[in-house]
Structure 1
């Protein structure tokens, strides 16, 4: 379900709009060499008004990727492209606005199915499928300022770095 965007067409209103704008931009086709996957809260229906569209990709040629992203999305409002190190790995990140959606494009030299954003989403989907009543509580926590991973860790009573704690939980429970 999560690798193919077709599920968005029959989703809630925001998911249907997300499907439309991603297709208007021809994003998945234009970036297909990077194996793009939409991650985050919108696919899981736990988004808030400020949620963005997070698209993760496997990138090895950071310079070429940056050039392509700049060419495709540079003209859009609030476009920013930056490189940084996260967990000892170089990443390239781009942000921009299109049709009232904030996009965050994230490139890392790692298969998308091994990136934290994807693994978190798989774990979170499992938890929401297992505990449907959590959806409203997670959204309420997010509206109070919790990041998504923090909200799930709060529900699971996990401590420490929420990004690592959620991964460790998924590994222990054999979700990922």
Structure 2
């Protein structure tokens, strides 16, 4: 699920627009060796004004990836790149604008289907299918400034670190 962008082509207006942009820019093809997956709010239809396009990537050689991303995107508006440690994993994050959207590339040495962004998206997608009204309430909270995972946890009554607890909730409820 979500491993190809084809579902966007028949999605809502924003999803179709993003599909066209990704095709027009060749973004997924340019990054294909890293198994790119579009994650976040747009794929599951809970985006709000200003939502970015999060693309996660499986990157084993961070130095090579950093140089390649610079070569491919340094000329894009607002380009910036940095190395981070996220949950004790070294990652590279690059941001830039294209086609009216902010892109965030997030590369780490972990298969995309094991990355938190992907797991969160799958869990959130399933929960919105299972729980009537959840989607609308998440969007309402997001519009008030609450981030996505904290919004889900707030509505589900889940306490603690929302990024860790949402994964645990997904495992405990046979979602992932």
TM over 0.5: yes
Where do 1:128-139 residues align within 5 Å? Answer: 128-139=128-139
Give the root-mean-square deviation of aligned CA atoms. Answer: 0.8
Match of 2:123 in 1: 123
Matched residue SS, 1:105: strand
CA distance in 1, matches of 2:170, 2:51: 24
Match of 2:29 in 1: 29
Runs (4+) off by over 6 Å:
none
In structure 1, runs of 5+ residues without a counterpart are none
CA distance in 2, matches of 1:132, 1:106: 32
Q: CA deviation at 1:152?
A: 0.5
* TM-score for the superposition, normalised by structure 2: 0.98
Matched residue SS, 2:163: helix
Matched residue SS, 1:42: coil
Q: Does 1:96 align with 2:96?
A: yes
* TM-score for the superposition, normalised by structure 1: 0.98
Task: Give a deviation string over 1:138-176, Cα, whole Å, max 9, x none.
Answer: 100001111100010011100110000100101111211
Matched residues, number:
176
CA distance in 2, matches of 1:11, 1:132: 20
| Greater mean deviation of Cα atoms: 37-46 or 7-16 | 7-16
CA distance in 2, matches of 1:101, 1:16: 14
